[in-house]
C-alpha cells in the first residue's frame, strides 16, 4: 500500500516553520478553540512566551538548565553496522540520552521556567503512559513548583511504575474516570481543571497540540533538537545537510523540533506514525482540545480510540503544523505497524547496542523498510531522531519476544 504523498519538487524552502499567522494559524489548521476563560489564559501564555523568547536572559537560563540538568547537547551517533547493512548513512540524534530518557524534558523545562517567570506556583499536566507526567514532575521539583498530573484510570493501572515515579517526585496524580479513561479524557479533564485555576497555575501541554500558542511554543522549545543536529551534521557529514530527516510522530513534538532545524534546507522531511494512530496520514479535519487539525474520526465525527504498542504514539490526532506541512508537500507522513516497530527495536539493540523507545523504533522501522524498498536511495545520508530510550518498554517487549 502506498500511503504517502509524492514529493512536490522543488521542496519549498521559504516561509515554512516560522511563526504561525495571526491567532496561531498554520494554513487552515491551529487556532484557539477554547472557552472564554481559557482564551484569556492562552493569551497571557502567548504574551509571556513572546517576551521570554525575545529575552537573551531567559534563553540563557533555559540553555543552562538544559546543559547542567538535562545533559544537552545530546550526541549525533553514526549507526555504523546498521548503515552498512542498509546501504545508507544513518545518523541518530540521541534524545534517549537526556535526563528522564526522552525529548519531553526539553519542552517541560522551557514551560516550567516560563511558569516561574509568570509568577505561577503550580504546573498542571495530562499524561498517557506517564512520560510527560514524569518529565513535568521532574521540572516542577527542580524549580520548586507544585505539579498536578491528570491521568486516565486505565492508564494508571497499566503504568504503575510511572505513577510511582511521579509521586516520588512530589507530584499529585489525579485519576480520570470519564470516557475511555485514557489520554484523551485526561487532556479534557486537565483543561477543565485549568479553567478554575488560571490565576496560579500553568497548563504544561506535552506536545505540539492544543490551543495557540502551544503548538508553536512547544515546537520552539523542541527546536533545540534540530538546531543542534544541524550544526552536528554540518561538522560530520560530507554533504553538510542530510538527504533525509526522519522522526516519529505522536502529537508531533520531537518531529517538529527536528524538522525546524532543517526546514530551510533541501532535506526531505519524513514523519512516521503508528498504523493505529495515524492522524497526519489518515485523519480528517476536526477540532479537539482547542485546536483545528487532523483527527481519527468515525462517520459521525466522533473521535475514535487510537491503538499503538507505543504509548507515546497513542494519540488520535496530530499537531496543526504537521497537517499544514503535509498539505504543502514539505513533509511526508508514513505509517508502520506494531510488528515492524518491535522488529526495528530488536535490530537496533543487536547492531548498535541501543534499546530504543518503541516510539522511536517506528521511525527506524520506516528507514529499514524504505532502504530495502527503494524509497531511500542507496548511499543517502539519513538523520533520524531517536526520541527516547527503551527502558520503559522492556516489560512489553518481554511479553512478545
Ligand atoms: C511522548 C513520546 C513520543 C511522542 O510524542 P511527540 O510529541 O510526537 O514527540 C515519542 N517518543 C517518545 C520516547 C515519547 O516519550
What pLDDT sits at residue 11? Answer: 52
Q: Which residues contact 43 (CB under 8 A, 6 or more apart)?
A: none
Q: Identify which of 111, 250, 320, 356 to mutate to test ligand 1's pocket (most ligand atoms within 8 A of the CB).
A: 250
Mark whether 311 and 174 lie in a shared domain.
Answer: no
Domain C-terminal end among 165, 194, 214: 214
Mark whether 395 and 262 lie in a shared domain.
Answer: yes
User: What SS3 state is found at 317?
Assistant: strand
Q: Report yes or no: 151 and 175 within 8 Å, Cβ to Cβ.
A: yes
Mark whether 200 and 247 lie in a shared domain.
Answer: no
Mark whether 53 and 83 lie in a shared domain.
Answer: no
Mark whether 320 and 367 lie in a shared domain.
Answer: yes
**Residue 392 annotated as catalytic:** no
CA distance 205 to 277: 19
CA distance 253 to 251: 6
Q: Evaluate whether residue 256 is within a structural domain.
A: yes
Q: Evaluate whether residue 10 is within a structural domain.
A: no
Q: Report yes or no: 212 and 42 within 8 Å, Cβ to Cβ.
A: yes
What pLDDT sits at residue 182? Answer: 87
Q: What is the CATH number of the domain that holds 310?
A: 3.40.50.1100
Mark whether 240 and 259 lie in a shared domain.
Answer: yes
Q: Report yes or no: 184 and 155 within 8 Å, Cβ to Cβ.
A: no
Mark whether 160 and 205 lie in a shared domain.
Answer: yes
Mark whether 183 and 304 lie in a shared domain.
Answer: no
Q: ∠ CA 159-273-134 to the nearest 5 degrees?
A: 30
Q: Evaluate whether residue 12 is within a structural domain.
A: no
Mark whether 227 and 173 lie in a shared domain.
Answer: no
What pLDDT sits at residue 253? Answer: 98
Which of 95, 126, 189, 352 is catalytic? The answer is 126
pLDDT beneath 50, residues of the chain: 1-6, 8-10, 13
Domain C-terminal end among 214, 245, 265: 214
User: What SS3 state is found at 286?
Assistant: strand
**Residue 126 annotated as catalytic:** yes
Give the DSSP letter of residue 179: T
**Residue 201 annotated as catalytic:** no
CA distance 247 to 204: 23
| Pairing, β 201-203 against β 89-94 | unpaired
Q: Which residues contact 113 (CB under 8 A, 6 or more apart)?
A: 52, 58, 61, 62, 65, 143
User: What's the structural domain count of the chain?
Assistant: 2
| pLDDT tens per residue, range 24-46 | 999 999 999 998 989 999 999 99
Give the DSSP letter of residue 202: E
In order of 62, 99, 102, 190, 387, the CA distances from 67 in angstroms are 9, 10, 15, 30, 18
What is the whole-number distance in angstroms between the Cα of residue 18 and the centre of ligand 1? Answer: 22
Q: Identify which of 131, 217, 252, 254 to mutate to test ligand 1's pocket (most ligand atoms within 8 A of the CB).
A: 254
Phi, psi of 69 (to 5 degrees): -105, -35
Mark whether 93 and 125 lie in a shared domain.
Answer: no
Q: Evaluate whether residue 189 is within a structural domain.
A: yes
Mark whether 88 and 184 lie in a shared domain.
Answer: no
Which of 83, 207, 293, 387 is catalytic? The answer is 387
What is the whole-number distance in angstroms between the Cα of residue 388 and the centre of ligand 1? Answer: 8
Residues with CB under 6 A from ligand 1: 102, 104, 131, 207, 248-254, 312-313, 357, 359-360, 387-388
Domain of residue 345 covers 72-102+223-400
Q: Identify which of 210, 248, 255, 389 to mutate to test ligand 1's pocket (most ligand atoms within 8 A of the CB).
A: 248
Q: Evaluate whether residue 150 is within a structural domain.
A: yes
Q: Evaluate whether residue 4 is within a structural domain.
A: no
Burial (CB count <10 Å: 0-12, 13-18, 19+), residue 260: buried
Phi, psi of 285 (to 5 degrees): -60, 130
Q: Evaluate whether residue 364 is within a structural domain.
A: yes
Q: Report yes or no: 49 and 114 within 8 Å, Cβ to Cβ.
A: yes
Q: Evaluate whether residue 274 is within a structural domain.
A: yes
Which of 83, 102, 104, 321 is catalytic? The answer is 104
Amino acid at each position: 500500500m502506498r500511503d504517502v504523498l509524492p514529493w512536490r519538487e522543488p521542496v519549498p524552502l521559504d516561509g515554512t516553520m516560522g511563526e504561525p499567522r495571526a491567532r496561531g494559524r498554520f494554513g487552515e489548521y491551529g487556532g484557539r478553540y477554547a472557552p472564554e476563560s481559557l482564551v484569556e489564559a492562552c493569551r497571557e501564555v502567548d504574551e509571556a512566551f513572546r517576551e521570554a523568547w525575545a529575552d537573551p536572559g531567559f534563553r540563557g537560563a533555559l540553555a543552562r538548565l538544559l546543559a547542567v540538568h538535562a545533559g544537552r547537547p545530546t550526541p549525533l551517533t553514526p549507526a555504523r553496522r546498521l548503515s552498512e547493512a542498509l546501504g545508507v548513512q544513518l545518523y541518530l540524534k540521541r534524545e534517549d540520552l537526556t535526563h528522564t530518557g526522552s525529548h519531553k524534558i526539553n519542552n517541560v523545562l522551557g514551560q516550567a521556567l516560563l511558569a516561574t517567570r509568570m509568577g505561577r506556583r503550580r504546573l498542571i499536566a495530562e499524561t498517557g503512559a506517564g512520560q510527560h507526567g514524569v518529565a513535568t514532575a521532574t521540572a516542577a521539583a527542580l524549580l520548586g513548583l507544585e505539579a498536578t498530573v491528570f491521568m486516565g484510570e486505565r492508564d494508571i493501572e497499566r503504568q504503575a511504575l510511572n505513577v510511582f515515579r511521579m509521586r516520588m517526585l512530589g507530584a499529585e496524580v489525579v485519576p480520570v474516570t470519564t470516557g475511555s479513561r485514557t489520554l484523551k479524557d485526561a487532556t479534557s479533564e486537565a483543561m477543565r481543571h485549568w479553567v478554575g485555576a488560571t490565576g496560579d497555575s500553568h497548563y504544561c501541554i506535552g506536545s505540539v497540540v492544543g490551543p495557540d500558542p502551544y503548538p508553536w511554543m512547544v515546537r520552539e522549545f523542541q527546536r533545540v533538537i534540530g538546531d543542534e543536529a544541524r550544526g552536528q551534521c554540518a561538522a560530520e557529514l560530507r554533504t553538510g545537510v542530510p538527504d533525509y530527516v526522519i522522526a516519529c510522530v505522536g502529537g508531533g513534538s520531537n518531529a517538529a523540533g527536528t524538522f525546524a532545524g532543517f526546514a530551510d534546507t533541501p532535506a526531505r522531511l519524513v514523519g512516521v506514525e503508528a498504523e493505529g494512530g495515524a492522524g497526519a496520514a489518515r485523519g480528517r479535519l476536526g477540532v479537539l482540545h482547542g485546536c483545528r487539525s487532523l483527527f481519527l474520526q468515525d462517520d459521525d465525527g466522533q473521535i475514535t480510540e487510537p491503538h499503538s504498542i507505543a504509548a507515546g504514539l497513542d494519540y488520535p490526532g496530530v499537531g496543526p503544523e504537521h497537517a499544514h506541512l503535509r498539505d504543502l508537500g514539505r513533509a511526508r507522513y508514513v505509517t508502520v505497524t506494531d510488528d515492524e516497530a518491535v522488529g526495528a527495536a530488536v535490530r537496533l539493540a543487536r547492531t548498535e547496542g541501543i534499546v530504543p523507545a518503541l516510539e522511536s523504533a517506528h521511525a527506524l522501522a520506516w528507514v529499514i523498510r524504505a532502504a530495502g524498498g527503494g524509497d531511500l536511495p542507496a548511499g543517502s545520508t539519513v538523520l533520524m531522531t531517536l526520541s527516547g530510550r527503551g527502558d520503559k518498554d522492556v516489560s512489553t517487549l518481554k511479553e512478545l519476544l
